[in-house]
Chain A
Amino acid sequence: MAKKLYYMVAKDLLSECRALRTWPAMLLLGVVVAMMFAMQMDLPPERQRQIAGSLLWLTIFFAGSLALDRSFAAEREEGCWEGLFCYPVSPTAVYLGKLFVNVVALTALECVLIPLFAILTDVPLLAHPVPIIAIAMLGNLGLAAVGTLLSAVANGAPACGSRQSSYLLPLLVLPAVIPLVLGAAEATRLAIEHDFSTDWWRWMQLLACFAVVFVTAGIVLFEFAIED
């Protein structure tokens, strides 16, 4: 299983490194959206600290949905989808491989966006890096777990090709990840304010719960989502 998973992840990462089809567009979209949000945040510092977390997580969602969509849209081209399921790997390995690649993509996006937000808005996002990294890790896992499953659903939905998936995916994923975006934004706000009371832990528990529920659901339901 571990070896199959390694090959699945290596295939996707190598293909992205060679073609550079998704990540540059995702990073660029993230930077542009962050700039636009920062432009509108001409507010007193305490108000900025209150809304920076929400805007950061919305930017991560919108830019990250490009990577989530491409994780299966790319497979739809030139018969890769059929080829993928001819390999002697279980659907669970395919799901976990895609999930891992999406977590890596979202992490790369956050490595750019979090310092950028800190620079553009003067909000001390990096003053307590460990809690912010913990929020980002749980948030990435939850977002990638739902996004990978629903990307397979959206790409499996149209009778042919993946044209419709680009608009279907945000429609499906955004309502589903509202608790995650809310939890991550609130936990980020409390971390910025250096408030690690029970409230912060409660939001972290919600993020962990979201990740566990949807990674499990993804493993169970992925087989049905890709069946043709």
Chain B
Amino acid sequence: MSEIALRRSIYDYLPQWVAAPMVATAIVAIFLVAPTEATMGDAQRIVYIHVSVAWTALASFVIMAASGGMYLVRRNLAWDHWSRAALEIGWLCCTLTLATGSLWAHSAWNTWWTWDPRLTTAFVLWAMYSAALVLRSGIDDPHRRARIGAVVAIVGLLDVPLVIMATRWFRGIHPKSPHMEPTMQAVLATSVVCFTAFFAVLLLMRRGQFQLAEELDDLQEEFAS
């Protein structure tokens, strides 16, 4: 136990020390630097957070499937730690995407929800993440959990382009390319970079926790035998 604790050095905390001021910068930029939008007012500031978490949710889905695929090829649980961490972070980002999107929609379209292609895609993504979380929670054996989780993640990733196609043909009112003034564009870019860094650090930390949990399980088994 002490051996595990002693391995932590000051450099292990470097990502956190980098990400914390980045998030603070993003928040300052969103609330103090970005100009107030003429039509929607302050409610438009939701967009900066919404776009950032939506992008991170999609990136997590790709990381989850790619590391799941790597697990199936290599059979190394380290890949599953990445996949599992991406699943949890992706689920969190997807939930935030739906929540912030709904708040924005209420202000912009006067409705909490509409069956717009991107909203529908986000909802389908959220449902897939949730099903994968429920599925994984029911399996104790780590290799079986990794294998089943990887298959579901790959099926989910294959489904995403089909969901996007189907919902886009069905109907659409979502703004495709928002027209923003240069300051707003700069704040949006800052927000996306900073929140991506923040969620990347969360991903690293969660992966590290899974790694430690596995090491602990191995030690317990060793002591038990």
Contact = CB atoms under 8 A, between A and B. Distances in A.
Interface of A: 146, 149-150, 153-154, 156-159, 164, 168, 171-172, 174-176, 178-180, 182-183, 186, 199, 202-203, 206, 209-210, 213-214, 217, 221, 224-225, 227-228
B150 A186 contact: no
Contact of B158 (A159, A206, A214, A225): A214
Nearest to B160: A179
Contacts of A150: 152, 155
Nearest to A167: B134
B31 to A, nearest CB: 35
Contact of B154 (A203, A221, A227): A221
A168 B138 contact: yes
Contacts, number: 90
B147 A175 contact: no
B181 interface: no
Nearest to B147: A224
Contact of A146 (B135, B140, B154, B155): B155
A188 to B, nearest CB: 14
A174 B159 CA distance: 12
A199 B169 CA distance: 9
A223 to B, nearest CB: 9
B90 interface: no
A182 B151 contact: no
Interface in B54-110: 72
A178 B138 CA distance: 24
Contacts of B150: 224
Between B124, B144, B152, B154, the greatest number of chain A beta carbons within 10 A of the residue's beta carbon is seen for B152
Given A157-B135, A175-B159, A224-B151, 16 more contacts: A146-B155, A149-B151, A150-B152, A153-B135, A153-B152, A156-B144, A158-B139, A164-B138, A171-B131, A171-B135, A175-B156, A176-B155, A179-B165, A183-B166, A203-B169, A206-B166
B170 interface: yes
Contacts of A149: 151, 155
Contacts of B165: 179, 206
Between A172, A186, A227, A228, the greatest number of chain B beta carbons within 10 A of the residue's beta carbon is seen for A172
A175 B162 contact: no
Contact of B134 (A156, A168, A182, A217): A168
Contacts of B124: 175, 178
Given A156-B144, A221-B155, A182 B138 contact: no
A157 B138 contact: yes
Contacts of B169: 186, 199, 202-203, 206
Contacts of B166: 178-179, 182-183, 206
B138 A158 contact: yes
30 contacts: A146-B155, A149-B155, A150-B152, A153-B135, A156-B144, A156-B148, A157-B138, A159-B140, A164-B138, A171-B130, A172-B135, A172-B152, A175-B124, A175-B128, A176-B128, A176-B155, A178-B120, A179-B159, A179-B163, A179-B166, A182-B170, A186-B170, A206-B169, A209-B162, A213-B162, A221-B154, A221-B155, A224-B147, A225-B147, A227-B147
Given A156-B148, A182-B166, A225-B148, A176 B138 contact: no
B139 A157 contact: yes
Contacts of A164: 138
A164 B131 CA distance: 13
Nearest to A185: B170
A159 B134 contact: no
Contacts of B170: 182, 186
Between A164, A179, A202, A210, the greatest number of chain B beta carbons within 10 A of the residue's beta carbon is seen for A179
Between B72, B148, B155, the greatest number of chain A beta carbons within 10 A of the residue's beta carbon is seen for B155
A164 B148 CA distance: 14
B141 interface: yes
A209 B159 CA distance: 11
B167 interface: yes
Contacts of A182: 166-167, 170
